[in-house]
């Protein structure tokens, strides 16, 4: 009997993944990863409505423990707090300082879940590892999940083909409603637990309160990108992302407005009004490239998890540099975010957005 170590998070997806594998005849054990410690990391600010008697990580562990008890499987526990800080959170802070918008979930998958977790699972005698991600893997190749709304290949695009070896994604052929139904029928305690959203280590905390623990606020001017007029004050460039239109800080102005750029040197936040040309680009360069397969002449890409998948053309490709063009203009392409490549249902890898262009000119109002 083959042994599978499942990453049990305390949520419904990982619990159902373990249940499905057990039904398939695998020997299943769970492994809970503790990647963040609010007290150790001096995370003292947060949502006053949260129950302070137990931190969210411990509540997740208790939920995971109960789920494994119901499933009749052993649950192991491992701390990756230092490693998460070194490989994920430090990068997150450095990117914010540069005015970019990082996506720590991709790095967590690359360095923690499909590296350190996998090594820990091998120590426990695993033949395979499994997670509750909505994705498929065939012959060390990553494919989209059945549930287009939940597909998580975007967050898995920075792992390598080697890291996909002996990996199982049991939820790849299920929709979220089907997963909830399976959990309810099995009597799992997490069947109706709310999905976690946003950045994992922030959770339900207020983003700006959380960031203030680590980066000193540096307020500055908000400038209309078209008129160069000062129209408000921002609370710190790290609190905004390109394309954002809520809570920007322009009081009394009812016209729809969007963050369209940042200038870290002069501490300026640029804003555009309406469906402005300043929100659009037609090409960009990528660095920190990870390719699981060769890029075909025709392919598509996503610039953010919930973004539209659009046709692109690869104009130049080197070891750690790719320049792409998108025939139809794209909105709010954001430095620091991942550009993930697709060939139909196959995920080919990613690069991270560096510079953004339009009509051959670099957008001057973007970092």
Residue with tokens 């008890």: 69
pLDDT of residue 367: 82
> Does residue 181 sit in the same domain as residue 301?
no
Instruction: Tell which phi-psi region holds residue 185, choosing left (phi > 0), alpha (psi between -120 and 50) or beta.
Output: alpha
Q: Is residue 192 part of a domain?
A: no
Alpha-carbon distances, residue 356 vs 32, 133, 173, 315, 351 (angstroms): 39, 31, 36, 14, 13
Quick one: pLDDT at residue 122?
A: 97
pLDDT at position 298: 86
Kindly calculate the radius of gyration of the chain based on its CA atoms and give it in whole angstroms: 22
Same domain, 150 and 54: yes
What is the distance between the alpha carbons of residues 217 and 220, in angstroms, rounded to a whole number?
10
Question: Is 73 in the same domain as 134?
Answer: yes
Which tokens hold the place of 135?
């994705």
Residues 301 and 172 in one domain: no
We report the CATH number of the domain holding residue 221 as 2.30.30.280
The last residue of a domain, from among 275, 303, 325: 275
Instruction: Pinpoint the alpha helices (H) of the chain.
Output: 12-23, 56-71, 81-84, 90-97, 104-107, 117-123, 153-156, 176-185, 207-211
Do 239 and 338 belong together in one domain?
A: no
Which among 354, 290, 329 is positioned nearest to 99, based on CA atoms? Answer: 354
Cα–Cα nearest to 207, from 45, 2, 34 = 45
Could you tell me what percentage of the chain is helix, strand and coil, using 3-state DSSP and rounding each to the nearest 5? Answer: 25, 30, 45
Q: Which residues are catalytic?
A: 108, 200
Number of domains in the chain: 3
The domain of 169 spans 3-185
What token pair was written down for 161? Answer: 């083909």
- Going from the C-alpha of 77 to that of each of 7, 57, 213, 281, the distances in angstroms are 10, 12, 28, 46
Let me know if residue 203 belongs to a domain. no
CATH code, domain with 288: 2.40.30.10
Please tell me the distance from the alpha carbon of residue 315 to that of residue 320, in angstroms, as a whole number: 14
pLDDT at 43 (0 to 100) = 59
User: What's the angle, vertex CA 267, arms to CA 47 and CA 358, rounded to 5?
Assistant: 105
User: Does residue 68 share a domain with residue 16?
Assistant: yes
Domain of 124: which CATH number? 3.40.50.620
Q: What was the pLDDT predicted at 40?
A: 58
Determine the pLDDT at residue 204: 61
Enumerate residue ranges in the chain where pLDDT < 50. Answer: 44-52
**Residues 141 and 73 both lie in one domain:** yes
pTM exceeding 0.75: yes
Residue 194 counted as domain residue: no
């Amino acid at each position: 009997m083959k042994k599978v170590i499942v990453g049990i998070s305390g949520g419904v997806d990982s619990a159902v993944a373990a249940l499905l594998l057990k039904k398939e005849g695998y020997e299943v054990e769970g492994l809970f990863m503790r990647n963040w410690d609010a007290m150790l990391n001096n995370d003292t600010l947060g949502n006053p409505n949260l129950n302070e008697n137990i931190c969210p990580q411990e509540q997740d562990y208790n939920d995971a423990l109960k789920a494994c008890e119901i499933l009749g499987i052993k649950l192991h526990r491992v701390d990756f707090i230092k490693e998460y800080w070194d490989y994920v959170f430090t990068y997150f802070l450095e990117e914010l300082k540069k005015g970019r918008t990082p996506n720590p979930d991709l790095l967590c998958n690359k360095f923690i879940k499909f590296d350190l977790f996998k090594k820990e699972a091998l120590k426990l005698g695993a033949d395979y590892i499994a997670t509750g991600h909505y994705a498929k893997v065939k012959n060390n190749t990553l494919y989209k999940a059945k549930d287009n709304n939940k597909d998580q290949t975007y967050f898995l695009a920075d792992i390598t083909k080697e890291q996909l070896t002996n990996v199982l994604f049991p939820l790849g052929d299920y929709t979220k409603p089907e997963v909830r139904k399976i959990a309810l029928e099995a009597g799992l305690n997490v069947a109706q637990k709310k999905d976690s959203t946003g950045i994992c280590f922030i959770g339900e905390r207020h983003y700006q309160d959380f960031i203030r623990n680590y980066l000193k606020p540096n307020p500055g001017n908000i400038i209309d990108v078209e008129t160069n007029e000062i129209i408000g004050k921002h609370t710190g460039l790290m609190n905004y992302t390109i394309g954002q239109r809520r809570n920007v800080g322009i009081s009394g102005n009812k016209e729809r407005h969007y963050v369209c750029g940042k200038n870290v040197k002069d501490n300026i936040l640029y804003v555009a009004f309406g469906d402005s040309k300043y929100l659009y680009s037609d090409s960009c360069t990528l660095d920190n490239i990870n390719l699981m397969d060769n890029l075909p002449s025709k392919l598509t890409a996503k610039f953010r998890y919930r973004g539209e998948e659009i046709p692109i053309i690869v104009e130049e490709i080197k070891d750690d540099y790719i320049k792409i063009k998108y025939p139809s203009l794209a909105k709010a392409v954001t430095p620091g975010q991942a550009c993930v490549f697709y060939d139909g249902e196959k995920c080919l890898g990613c690069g991270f957005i560096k510079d953004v262009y339009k009509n051959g000119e670099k957008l001057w109002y973007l970092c």
